[in-house]
Amino acid sequence: MRRNILALGIVSGPVLIVFSCLVGLMLTCAAGWWLSGPDDESRLVRIMSLAPLATPQAYFTQPAEDAVGQDGQIAFQSSAAPGEEYQPPVYDEAELAAHQEVENALGFSLPVGSVNSITQEGVATRLVIPRLNLDAPVVLSPIENQTWKVEHLGTDKVGHLEGTAPPGSNSNIVLAAHVTVSAGVYGPFAQLASLQPGDQVYIYYGQDVYEYIIDDYDTVDRTAIEVTHPTNTGRVTLITCSNWSAAEGRYVERLVVTGHLN
């Protein structure tokens, strides 16, 4: 009898252990379901890495040699041909009508070309930099194919990089513009390197205007995406291309000017 009981214990022991594990697993799952609730859903979030500000060569060509002054800075020039008087851009009736409709509704004026940007929440509408004699409309530079689209900025627009902070917030608003568009034709940030610490920068968001004070500037590699990262305080980052490489046929660095919200 004692042998039979011993044999039964030897056989049933592993079975009881396995059974106990299964019961424990079932109880754990049930408890987890009960605590989280049947309607709780977990979603996999894919974090996409962003490429640096990428601009086709056609929009950043080598500046003409006669446009560079003795101090090494690019002399701002208009796009008029030699001997011709500069003419302001001509807008069609539809664009002017849309612009006027927005002005009538809001009760204030905007630079022509910035009408669309005010309908995009968080996107700046206008940039004013007194030292550079710059007053330019700001439009969205959206993310396409993991990089920011800037081809549409041309000679007169500044791009608010999608995903960066809105004006006046406690984070980093990043604005980019061309330094050159073609040989001898320059963009809004052609004179960006002329900014000095203490200079004022005004960023408009509809009727609201925010003042930033320039702190510093630096040149970084064109792949330095970290300059666009969020910050814990109000900050503006102005970016354009720098250091033309004839060998590579493109600018290999970025000029980055930063300031704080006043």
Q: How high is the mean pLDDT of the chain?
A: 69
pLDDT band of residue 63 (cuts 50, 70, 90) is: very low
User: Which fold, 57-261?
Assistant: Sortase; Chain: A; (2.40.260)
Task: Record the pTM.
Answer: 0.57
- Exposure string over 78-95, b if 16+ CB within 10 A, otherwise e: ebeeeeeeeeeeeeeeee
CA distance linking residue 202 with residue 127, whole number of Å: 6
Query: On the CB side of 175, how many CA atoms lie within 13 Å of its CA?
Result: 30
- pLDDT value, residue 14: 56
Of 102 and 24, the one with more pLDDT:
24
- pLDDT value, residue 116: 41
- The residues spanned by each domain of the chain are 1-42, 57-261
Query: Does 88 score more than 60 pLDDT?
Result: no
Query: Does 254 score more than 50 pLDDT?
Result: yes
| pLDDT, tens digit, 9 for 90 and up, residues 92-137 | 555 455 444 444 443 333 344 433 444 357 899 999 999 999 999 9
Angle at 58 between CA 55 and CA 60, to 5 degrees: 60
What does the DSSP assignment read for 189-244? TTTGGG--TT-EEEEEETTEEEEEEEEEEEEEETT-GGGGS--SS-EEEEEEEEEE
pLDDT mean over 28-54:
37
Joined tokens for residue 209: 């205007």
- pLDDT value, residue 148: 85
Query: Does 30 score more than 50 pLDDT?
Result: no
pLDDT mean over 185-208:
93
